[in-house]
Amino acid sequence: LLLVNLLRIDICFSTSLLTVFFFYYIGRKYDPRSSVFQIQYFRTSVAYRDEVVTVKTPAFAESVTEGDVRWEKAVGDSVSEDEVVCEIETDKTSVQVPSPAAGVIEELLVPDGGKVEGGTPLFKLRKGAAEPPKAEAPAAAAPPPSAAPPSPPPPPPSTVGPIPTTMPPVPPVPAHAMDTKPVSAIKPTVSQAAPVTHTEGGAKAARTESRVKMNRMRLRIAQRLKEAQNTCAMLTTFNEVDMSNISDMRKNYKDAFLKKHNIKLGFMSAFVKAAAYALTDQPAVNGVIDDTTKEIVYRDYVDISVAVATPKGLVVPVIRNVEGMNFADIEKAINLLGEKARKNELAVEDMDGGTFTISNGGVFGSMFGTPIINPPQSAILGMHGIFDRPVAVGGKVEIRPMMYVALTYDHRLIDGREAVTFLRKIKSVVEDPRVLLLDM
């Protein structure tokens, strides 16, 4: 028993000694004060400062699956934080991709014009890196001295006499009968015909043509319009609106309206408000046919899409819940969406949905037209220009500012009676806004 205990003590003592020597060895080998540790720490710091990150495509809306990339920067370009590196053009809008940090573009992972989906790697950015120095032309090497221009040769000895001061005699013109025909009637002979030369006017007359690839927005617009034409049984009904009262109201209250709401009072808000009033009265115009389930969907809300022309195409941002808005709210929403459209800052969410569309071709001088339905909607109102025309008022002919309005609707859902009633509601509200107060 004593021998066993002694063996146990010896084993424990040996183990303790080995443990002490092990940690002592490790501590000596990996002393944090050693140069090896400092070099490793320095390298880690450099890797952190020059970290390379991969920037991916932002997530698209549910209705957008892919887009085309247009690069604003190239490899080697320095960018600051939030500076736009590329733009992704989708079916509905353009999405700008900013740089997440300051750095240098190290690699472009998608070619210009390439198609990308949400989450696709776009480019690699070296964060915190300085712009690579540009190769400078060697300034030390002076340009070789240009050879001195050779001195002009001495003038040859004059072998000619003094310059004559009188003109040489003109050779006599052979006498022959002058042609009495007018110049336009004389046909030149082959020897008389002058060679044909291409003048500046001839160069301008050259006819050329060029081909430009359709962008995604234009392709989508064409696809949707053709889809509407093939799906809907479109029919258009017309009416005319006397703009006298609404013009007088705008003239009398535009300054006070601008002072209170800090926004101008236009005609579009009157038509948007009138459309919301008429859509509530005629729910079929605010509905839509679901072709997949063969059902009619009636909406108890009014979201009106307002068509806005941009350099890239027509966009239709949506004003939501118009039924609860007043004139000031509508004008502010129109102004905000119009600014975003002109600056190409519209998001996909700004254009999703919509139960009815208003298009104003009058701002371009349109007098008459038949708009095309914006699917999946069932109707669209087309506004046109305001022109003074003679009209019969109380048995007399008067000059009034008149506007033609057109309602294109899906005849599968909306009957002619409902369409005409809807358009007359809009006419009555715009011609006399007091109808809204009386709920007529």
Whether the Cβ atoms of residue 253 and residue 241 lie closer than 8 Å to each other: no
Lookup: tokens for 252: 């009398």
Q: In 3D, which of 263, 233, 358, 346 has the Cα closest to residue 303?
A: 358
Phi, psi of 198 (to 5 degrees): -85, 110
Q: Cis link prior to 58 (omega < 30° from 0)?
A: no
Whether the Cβ atoms of residue 241 and residue 336 lie closer than 8 Å to each other: no
Whether the Cβ atoms of residue 430 and residue 271 lie closer than 8 Å to each other: yes
411 is catalytic: yes
Residue 315 forms beta bridges with which residues? Answer: 308
HSE toward the beta carbon, residue 131, CA cutoff 13 A? 8
Phi, psi of 308 (to 5 degrees): -130, 130
Judged by DSSP in three states, 48 sits in helix
The catalytic position among 77, 415, 432, 439 is 415
Whether the Cβ atoms of residue 264 and residue 258 lie closer than 8 Å to each other: yes
Angle between the N-to-C axes of helices 416-431 and 244-261, in degrees from 0 to 180, rounded to the nearest 10:
60
Q: In 3D, which of 87, 88, 96, 90 has the Cα closest to residue 63?
A: 90
CA distances from 184 to 180, 181, 198 (A): 12, 8, 22
The catalytic position among 50, 329, 411, 432 is 411
Whether the Cβ atoms of residue 265 and residue 329 lie closer than 8 Å to each other: no
How far apart CA 306 and CA 315 sit, in angstroms, is 8
Residue 98 forms beta bridges with which residues? Answer: 84
Angle at 130 between CA 125 and CA 131, to 5 degrees: 85
Whether the Cβ atoms of residue 239 and residue 423 lie closer than 8 Å to each other: yes
Lookup: tokens for 351: 């254009």
352 is catalytic: no
Judged by DSSP in three states, 388 sits in strand
Instruction: Report, as residue numbers or ranges, the catalytic residues.
Output: 411, 415
